[in-house]
């Protein structure tokens, strides 16, 4: 007689692993089906290899507000397995010491994402079936009876679908989970790359590749109206811009692009008003009054940015600083406060940190993560149509929905 598991978890990423750990701790007989040779492959990439476990944001309403579209769906999961519960679970249950860094980002003390993977897999290593892709489900009425793979058919009393989205396809995230969910009657909101770099039209950006910008304000605009504005760190790439604030605004930029042209406006000196910045420029010009213009901005800007600013200012680079007119100087000030780039498109799936879109939240019970269509199916993690900003917010979705799915019962 074929074995019948209590729970089969499909997908060995963050959500799937924590679901499996919790199910086993609750005494369930489990099986994790993972398409990769090893589970947790994507976790290694988070936090630049350090794993930004979560955010140290304990205000539920403020936490929910960070997720914007569909954020309210997460009230059930976040109130039942909170940020505080997450910190306790990793430190006391899984024995991974954590630390809090600037921006309320939480990391393992070791700065090594592998420690998180080890903690999540050590208790369930014998329950993981690697190198296995799911082909389809078998059902009777509105219940799944078994899951079919190339390695055979496996039966269970209930199933947790935690296959992730389509971001970072090198980790095995290819969107198969959406196909499986659709085969059971679920609706999929169109998956799109989220938390992704922005590609710009201007060819000169490649001259700035690698330049980091600290404490800048970047605003995305359409038809001279603000779409979104963020303060913090950004980075020029060979094709455009990346870095925390660019990645965080990419979803709104992508949505706006579908309606027309989008511009990025960089304020290099957001702490200074135009008037104060003008005084600063006047002071620098006094120091460099015997120099030519192209050699007068070294106190104001990074060296790689100076030639670009000089060119865009339309001031003769060989002009003596003492001869620069007030009109030209104010044009420079305006440029430093409103440095424009034209958005061409968002980067692709291979650079996306998470997926926007997924299984329609209207078809999932937010208090249990149970499918409203299939009696013994649950969802966890990125496969659900919710996503947040950088800083541990998306992993918190995985932990909370994964635990909730594990603790919920059929019926």
pLDDT, tens digit, 9 for 90 and up, residues 63-82 = 999 997 899 999 999 999 99
Residue 393: is its pLDDT beyond 80? Answer: yes
pLDDT of residue 177: 94
Residue 228 phi/psi, 5-degree rounding, is: -160, 150
User: Which tokens go with 258?
Assistant: 């579908």
> In the predicted model, is pLDDT for residue 411 greater than 60?
no
Taking a C-beta distance cutoff of 8 angstroms, is the pair 115, 95 a contact?
no
Task: State the pLDDT at residue 353.
Answer: 87
Give the tokens for residue 222: 């359409």
Instruction: Catalogue the E-assigned strands of 11-124.
Output: 30-33, 54-55, 98-101, 105-108
The DSSP letter of residue 171 is G
Place of tokens 């963050």: 14
Whole-number percent of the chain with pLDDT over 70: 98
99-123 residue pLDDT tens: 999 889 999 999 999 999 999 999 9
Residue tagged 């198969």 (tokens): 176
Q: What is the pLDDT of residues 205-252, one digit of tens each?
A: 999 999 999 999 999 999 999 999 999 999 999 999 999 999 999 989
In this structure, are residues 388 and 371 in contact, taking their beta carbons and an 8 Å threshold?
A: no
Q: Checking phi first, is residue 381 left (phi over 0); if not, alpha (psi -120 to 50) or beta?
A: left
User: What domains, with CATH codes, occur in the chain?
Assistant: 4-193+354-407 (3.50.50.60), 197-347 (1.10.8.100)
User: Over the chain, what is the mean pLDDT?
Assistant: 95
Are the C-beta atoms of residues 341 and 264 closer than 8 Å to each other?
Answer: yes
379 CA to centre of own chain: 19
| Alpha helix (H) residue ranges in 156-273 | 176-183, 244-257
Report the b/e string of 49-80 with b at 16+ CB within 10 A: ebbbbbbbbeeeeebbebbeebbebbebbbeb
Query: Distance (Å, rounded) from C-alpha 146 to C-alpha 158?
Result: 9
The alpha helices in 218-305, defined as continuous H runs, are 244-257, 274-287
Q: Is the pLDDT of residue 410 over 80?
A: no
Q: Between β-strands 377-379 and 54-55, what pairing exists: parallel, antiparallel or unpaired? A: unpaired
For 17-54, what is each residue's pLDDT tens digit? 999 999 999 999 999 999 999 999 889 888 889 999 99
Angle at 403 between CA 401 and CA 408, to 5 degrees: 95
Q: Which of 93, 110, 99, 13 is nearest to 54 (CA)?
A: 99
Q: Containing H/E element for 117?
A: helix 113-121
Give the Cα separation of 219 and 230 in Å (integer).
Answer: 7
pLDDT tens readout for residues 161-209: 999 988 866 666 678 999 999 999 999 999 988 899 999 999 999 999 9
Q: pLDDT by residue (tens digit) across 263-290?
A: 999 999 999 999 999 999 999 999 999 9
């Amino acid at each position: 007689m074929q074995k019948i598991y209590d729970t089969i978890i499909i997908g060995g990423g963050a959500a799937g692993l924590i679901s499996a750990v919790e199910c086993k701790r609750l005494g369930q007989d489990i099986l994790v089906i993972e398409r990769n040779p090893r589970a947790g492959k994507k976790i290694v990439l988070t936090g630049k290899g350090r794993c930004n476990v979560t955010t140290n944001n304990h205000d539920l309403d403020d936490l929910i507000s960070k997720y914007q579209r569909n954020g309210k769906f997460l009230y059930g999961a976040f109130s039942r397995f909170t940020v505080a519960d997450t910190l306790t679970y990793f430190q006391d249950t899984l024995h991974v010491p954590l630390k809090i860094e600037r921006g309320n980002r939480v990391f393992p003390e070791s700065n090594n994402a592998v420690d998180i993977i080890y903690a999540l897999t050590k208790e369930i290593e014998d329950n993981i079936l690697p190198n296995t892709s799911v082909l389809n489900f078998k059902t009777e009425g509105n219940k799944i009876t078994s899951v079919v793979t190339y390695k055979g058919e496996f039966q269970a009393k209930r199933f947790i679908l935690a296959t992730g989205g389509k971001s970072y396809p090198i980790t095995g995230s290819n969107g198969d989970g959406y196909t499986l969910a659709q085969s059971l009657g679920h609706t999929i909101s169109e998956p799109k790359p989220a938390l992704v770099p922005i590609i710009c039209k201007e060819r000169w950006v490649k001259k700035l590749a690698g330049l980091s910008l600290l404490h800048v304000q970047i605003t995305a605009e359409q038809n001279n109206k603000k779409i979104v504005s963020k303060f913090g760190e950004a980075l020029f790439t060979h094709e455009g811009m990346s870095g925390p604030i660019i990645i965080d605004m990419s979803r709104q930029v992508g949505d706006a692009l579908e309606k027309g042209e989008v511009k990025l406006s960089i304020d290099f000196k957001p702490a200074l008003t135009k008037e104060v910045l003008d005084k600063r420029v006047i002071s620098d010009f006094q120091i460099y009054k015997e120099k030519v213009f192209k050699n007068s901005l070294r106190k104001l800007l990074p060296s790689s940015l100076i030639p670009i600013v000089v060119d865009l200012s339309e001031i003769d680079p060989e002009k003596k600083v003492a001869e620069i007119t007030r009109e030209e100087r104010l044009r420079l000030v305006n440029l430093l406060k409103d440095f424009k780039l034209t958005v061409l498109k968002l980067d692709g799936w291979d650079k996306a940190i998470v997926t926007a879109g997924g299984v329609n939240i209207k078809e999932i019970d937010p208090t249990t993560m149970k499918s409203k269509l299939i009696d013994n199916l649950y969802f966890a993690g990125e496969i659900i149509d919710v996503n947040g900003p950088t800083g541990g917010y998306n992993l918190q979705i995985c932990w909370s929905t994964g635990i909730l799915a594990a603790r919920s019962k059929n019926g």
